[in-house]
Structure 1
Amino acid sequence: MTIARRPIAVLGAVAALGLALTGCVAKSDVSAAGRLTVSSTADACSVSAATATSGTLAFDVNNKGDEVTEFYLLAEDGVRIVGEVENVAPGASRTLTVVAQPGKYFTVCKPGMLGAGVGRTAFAVSGEKVAETGGDAAQKQKALTQYASYVKDQVDQLLPAAKTFADAYRGGEDAAAKAQFSTVRAYYERIEPIAEQLGTLDPRLDFRELDAKAEGIDWTGFHRIEKDLWAPAAGAMNSDGTTPANLDWAPSTPAERATFADKLLADLQELYDHVHSDAFVKDLESKGIAGISNGSISLLDEVANGKITGEEDWWSGTDLSDFAANVEGSKMAFSVVREFAESKGAEGKKLVEQIDRGFSALEAELAVHGSLKDGFASYSTVTETQKRDLTDLLNALAEPLSKLTSTILG
């Protein structure tokens, strides 16, 4: 199955959001010291300097490759997108203008506008903090832009990773598919609430077997493939604890595997098309920053409703990877709106401090079991005491996080 590239025609709304983030700064307003050049090729992203002074910076991006490219300025965590310029055609140049605060960043290019990008390099900004202008409306638009960019980036990485995974599964390369399963799912789990807003898309992609049976729909998606890869042993029980998992079960034939693989990629293409459409941007704008805040809360609920019980990845035991990805996505959404909570005075600042402590404690406990980068232990190795510890930390974070939206709107 061929993965469709992002349609250029739908970039207008996202690009408009980008202007709100970077600011409408004329080239003449950027000092010579604040101008940098970027050369993007198929395998490199060369920036003329690795340091700059805080203030208005302009990155002049020249695409010397053969594919349409993008350029990103990422925050210190390598995930949050501070600014981006998209749709730079081969041989063309475009400029990203940002107001950069002191701190550590990364630069990266994305030839083909898919995948993790190339030439990721550290970039440092020194100097004094710069006062931001534009008022509350501009700050809200900035938050929406940052979150839209994050979601888009996760899906950009999800689609090619899923194709590699689906090809391995389709071809009977089970060891390779197993090794890729949790990584592919992490991209999806970080932004799952977006898929949940698209009617039957999330059920098609992420329903567990019993959920599909209860709803009377065909069982497809990640977990259907998971059961093929980790076929249940004789006498193994379903996640309800009563029904034998191998009852009326037979491994998929090669033809059936091809069908499930193609279906997974078609559904993920639908998600990709949505997050690169005008409709996605308009939906984010209609929900405002409360929608992002509620997304942060929703992702933590995902952990409580499946991952902590070990029912999500019943066959593979990769629940901790989904757990960590949900937490990462929740934290990202929170980081985008935290300044609005802090602006609500002493109570808002107190709430932010509580949420920060909650995330730190939960992340530290998860790190005992592994990481998304290096892999997690099977959920079957987590003791009941450790599950209780994770549950307690999850609840300790969920309580203040549940107040985030009301605080922001208050």
Structure 2
Amino acid sequence: MERSPVKILPTAAACALLAVPLTACSLTQSNKSDGAEGSGPITVTSSATACELSSTKAGSGRVTFRIKNTGSKVTEFYLYAEDGKRIVGEVENIGPGLTRDLVVSVAPGTYVTACKPGMEGDGIRGKLTVTDSGRKSSVADVDQETLEHATESYADYVKQEADALLEGTTQFVAAYRSGDDAKARSLYPTARQHWERIEPVAESFGDLDPKMDLREADLEQGQKWTGWHLLEKDLWPPAKGYTALNRAQRATYAQDLLANTKTLHTRVQTQTYDVTHLGNGSKELMDEVATGKITGEEEIWSHTDLWDFQANVDGARTAFELLEPILAVKDHDLEEQIDERFDDLQKLLDQYRSGDGFVSYDTVTPEQRKQLSDAVNALAEPLSKMTGAVTA
């Protein structure tokens, strides 16, 4: 989930509002525009106060960003479409001193880059211009039928999950509006799993994720809170200081969630994908686990984090398995390593199953969470190389 802007970067925000170039601010996007287009990775240096790109220009086709975190806080890097909202690609959970790659396939046009030190706020933003190079992502040695099968199968998977999400959300909303809280609580984690499996697709539209999946802790001052987690808090209210939503409020917020779910369902019917969407989406889902599920921040009221955790793993593994025949040709050792680490993580996660679901996450000890975190990180490292390998 992309977090809501929290305005921890007031100078950058003021620049954006006043249309002042970010280079005039103390928190800057520093760019060197003399880099040769298509000559190699665009290096990105993310610190506490700057986001330095080695070039603000690139040729269309396969583009690699190599992000180095020189700050003291975990950072993220995003590539947005020209509107600054729709996510083209992202890398989360880049620890201090670490370097991560983001590989994307881009068409000619204008894009927005952003480093997010502390993983909060609008980020330190700049502009990237992509010109027509005539190049396309290389997938040599892999036949067209294999490529088409992977991308078309993923489109079918997203549609199926969107169908299930709409059905599950409809049932959940009906129970919640009627006041059947016990039923609504039982439906909440199972309906959300369909959202979590395809969240990178929802994020790619730019506007839906903040409306549907914003956490209370990520609210900007004065921002209206809607979506799943507002209803979650109402179903699992804090012991003190909380005023339950009345019947009319329940109806309003529930209908809003359902309407946005229907919008998502409509949009995915015509959405198309390439292999970079699958590779980056798989990686993004594991980043979601590392930054939200492991900490228990995602489902802070219901403690249903392990349902989300499993759904993120499901979505990531589906994308990986569709790319696996391509990866086996490109880098067989990497393919085997990723496969083994998915198995290791799943075996560990299965220990927390209870009936058709999972134990409450507040019963998982810090030591057990550390084991899960280590398994996620062990998978995330080779998984981060997959997109680069399949498009090499």
What TM-score bracket applies, with the shorter chain setting the length? Answer: 0.5 to 0.7
Could you say which residue in structure 2 is the equivalent of 1:376?
Answer: 358
Could you say which residue in structure 1 is the equivalent of 2:288?
Answer: 302
TM-score, structure 2 normalization:
0.63
Kept in 2, the 8 Å contact 1:294–1:405? The answer is yes
Choose from 184, 189, 199 the match for 1:192: 199
Kept in 1, the 8 Å contact 2:293–2:305? The answer is yes
Choose from 228, 234, 237 the match for 2:234: 228
What amino acid maps onto 2:153 in structure 1? Answer: Q
Could you say which residue in structure 1 is the equivalent of 2:151?
Answer: 144
Q: How does 1:77-96 map to 2 (within 5 A)?
A: none
Residue 363 of structure 2 is aligned to residue 407 of structure 1: no
What amino acid maps onto 1:252 in structure 2? Answer: L
Q: How does 1:108-147 map to 2 (within 5 A)?
A: 136-147=143-154
Structure scoring higher RCO (CA < 8 A, sep ≥ 6) equals 2
For the structure 1 residues 396 and 135, does the alpha-carbon distance in structure 2 shift closer, same or farther, using more than 3 Å as the test?
A: closer
Kept in 1, the 8 Å contact 2:161–2:194? The answer is yes
Q: How does 1:102-113 map to 2 (within 5 A)?
A: none
Could you say which residue in structure 2 is the equivalent of 1:160?
Answer: 167
TM-superposed CA distance for 1:135, in Å, is 6.5
TM-superposed CA distance for 1:339, in Å, is 1.1
Could you say which residue in structure 1 is the equivalent of 2:124?
Answer: none
What amino acid maps onto 1:136 in structure 2? Answer: D
Could you say which residue in structure 1 is the equivalent of 2:374?
Answer: 392
1:126-159 C-alpha deviation (Å, 9 max, x unpaired): xxxxxxxx96222211111100000000111111
Choose from 329, 332, 354 the match for 2:315: 329
Could you say which residue in structure 2 is the equivalent of 1:319?
Answer: 305
Stretch moving more, 134-143 or 161-170: 134-143
Q: What secondary structure sits across from 1:343 in the alignment?
A: helix
CA distance in 1, matches of 2:284, 2:211: 19
Kept in 2, the 8 Å contact 1:226–1:315? The answer is yes
What amino acid maps onto 1:379 in structure 2? Answer: Y
RMSD of aligned C-alpha atoms? 1.4
Q: How does 1:207-218 map to 2 (within 5 A)?
A: 207-213=214-220, 216-218=222-224
What amino acid maps onto 2:223 in structure 1? Answer: I
For the structure 1 residues 135 and 362, does the alpha-carbon distance in structure 2 shift closer, same or farther, using more than 3 Å as the test?
A: closer
Kept in 1, the 8 Å contact 2:341–2:375? The answer is yes
Kept in 2, the 8 Å contact 1:207–1:219? The answer is yes
What amino acid maps onto 1:377 in structure 2? Answer: V
Larger radius of gyration: 1
Give percent identity, aligned residues only: 46
Could you say which residue in structure 1 is the equivalent of 2:182?
Answer: 175
CA distance in 2, matches of 1:409, 1:179: 42
Q: How does 1:206-355 map to 2 (within 5 A)?
A: 206-213=213-220, 216-234=222-240, 246=241, 249-277=242-270, 280-281=271-272, 284=273, 288-344=274-330, 348-355=331-338
Q: What secondary structure sits across from 1:186 in the alignment?
A: helix
TM-superposed CA distance for 1:217, in Å, is 2.7
CA distance in 1, matches of 2:229, 2:386: 32
Kept in 1, the 8 Å contact 2:142–2:329? The answer is no
* Runs of 4+ residues deviating >6 angstroms: none
Choose from 350, 358, 363 the match for 1:367: 350
Could you say which residue in structure 1 is the equivalent of 2:101?
Answer: none
What amino acid maps onto 1:222 in structure 2? Answer: W
For the structure 1 residues 209 and 138, does the alpha-carbon distance in structure 2 shift closer, same or farther, using more than 3 Å as the test?
A: same
CA distance in 2, matches of 1:231, 1:315: 7
Q: What secondary structure sits across from 1:406 in the alignment?
A: helix
* Unaligned runs of at least 5 residues, structure 1: 1-133, 235-245
Could you say which residue in structure 2 is the equivalent of 1:44?
Answer: none
TM-superposed CA distance for 1:338, in Å, is 1.1
Question: Relative to total residues, which structure has the larger helix share, 1 or 2?
Answer: 1
1:258-308 C-alpha deviation (Å, 9 max, x unpaired): 00110000000000000112xx12xx2xxx211111100000000011000
Could you say which residue in structure 1 is the equivalent of 2:11?
Answer: none
1:18-49 C-alpha deviation (Å, 9 max, x unpaired): xxxxxxxxxxxxxxxxxxxxxxxxxxxxxxxx
CA distance in 2, matches of 1:164, 1:140: 37
For the structure 1 residues 135 and 392, does the alpha-carbon distance in structure 2 shift closer, same or farther, using more than 3 Å as the test?
A: closer
Alignment: residue pair count: 252
CA distance in 1, matches of 2:366, 2:298: 17
Kept in 2, the 8 Å contact 1:213–1:219? The answer is no
TM-score, structure 1 normalization:
0.60
